[in-house]
Structure 1
Amino acid sequence: MLIRLTYASRARNLGPMDVKDILESSKRNNQALGVTGALCLSNGIFLQCLEGDRAVVNALYHRILLDPRHQDPAILDFDEVTHRQFSAWSMGLVSAVADNQSLFLKYASGPEFDPYQMRPVALRAFFNELIQNTRWIG
């Protein structure tokens, strides 16, 4: 069964090379597992969407929970899907740089982007728009 899981967590003790390391290891590991997805970083908050087999994504999420760079993890959306949204990436990264800031703010309920406050329908729309309109790293 193909599923999509979206979660958020607050970055803890994140150094300048950590994001690059997270992206590289995610790409390598996810490809081997058949997992695709996207990782966003804004205001010290990770927002990640993972797609793949239910058991594989579940195990991967539980491994992420053990990573000391994440705190306050929360599953924001979980759904069975008929196809992958991120089939081109084992993991793509987008950050709230100036080029992308207006899109992040479009979905913000306040002055800063906070995915913890977003409903699943807004998260899905946000990722759909990210795929079409932003500059991805990875």
Structure 2
Amino acid sequence: MLVRLLYASRAVDTSPAAIEAILTQSRQHNPGSGITGVLCYGGGIFLQAIEGGRAAVSDLYGHIQRDPRHKDVELLHYEEITERRFGGWTMGQVNLSKINHSILLKYSEKPELDPYAVSGKVSFALLEELMATASIIGRA
């Protein structure tokens, strides 16, 4: 059974090297676990969608909750799915510094990434739009 999980967290270390280390680890670990997804990072905040088998996604989310590189981990949305939305991605990355702020403003009160202030449905819609506008890099 396939599931999709959407969560937000705050980075403990916001240095480019620390963020790149998280992405590198995801890209190395996820294919073997059947995990696909996309990671959006900006202003010290992660917004990540992960997809895969229920056990694999649950295990990964548990690991993220215990990972000292993340704090304020919050589940935004969880659902059973019939097909993957991010099937071609081991872990795509959104570079918010290159995003037109009007896209962010479309989904929130301010032109900044803040999944804590909006619903999981709104956060997922933002990820969908970022995919549609080719704002995601790092395809598998």
Per the normalisation by structure 1, the TM-score is: 0.92
Unaligned runs of 5+ residues in structure 2 are none
Alpha-carbon shift at residue 6 of structure 1 (Å): 0.4
Aligned to 2:30: 30
Deviations 1:29-88 (A, max 9, x none): 001100000000011100000000111100001111121111111000111111100011
CA contact (8 A) 1:5 1:51 kept: yes
Q: Which amino acid counterpart does residue 19 of structure 2 have in structure 1?
A: V
Aligned partners of 1:122 and 1:5: how far apart in 2? 14
The alignment partner of 1:47 has SS state of strand
User: What amino acid maps onto 2:109 in structure 1?
Assistant: S
The C-alpha deviation readout for 1:113-136, integer Å capped at 9, x for no partner, is: 210122132122112111110332
**Alignment identity in percent?**
44
> In 2 relative to 1, CA 111–89 (structure 1 residues): closer, same or farther, beyond 3 Å?
closer
> Partner of 2:48: helix, strand, or coil?
strand
Where structure 1 has 5 or more consecutive residues not aligned to the other structure, the ranges are none
Give the corresponding residue for 2:68.
68
**C-alpha separation in 2, matches of 1:129 and 1:118:** 16
Q: CA RMSD in A?
A: 1.4
Q: Is the contact made by 2:101 and 2:112 (CA closer than 8 Å) also made in structure 1?
A: no
8 Å CA contact 1:6, 1:77 repeated in 2:
yes
C-alpha separation between the residues in 1 aligned to 2:17 and 2:111? 28
> CA separation of 1:35/1:100 partners in 2, compared to 1, >3 Å: closer, same or farther?
farther
- Is the 2:101–2:111 Cα contact (8 Å) retained in structure 1? no
CA contact (8 A) 1:107 1:113 kept: no
CA contact (8 A) 1:9 1:71 kept: yes
1:116 is aligned to 116
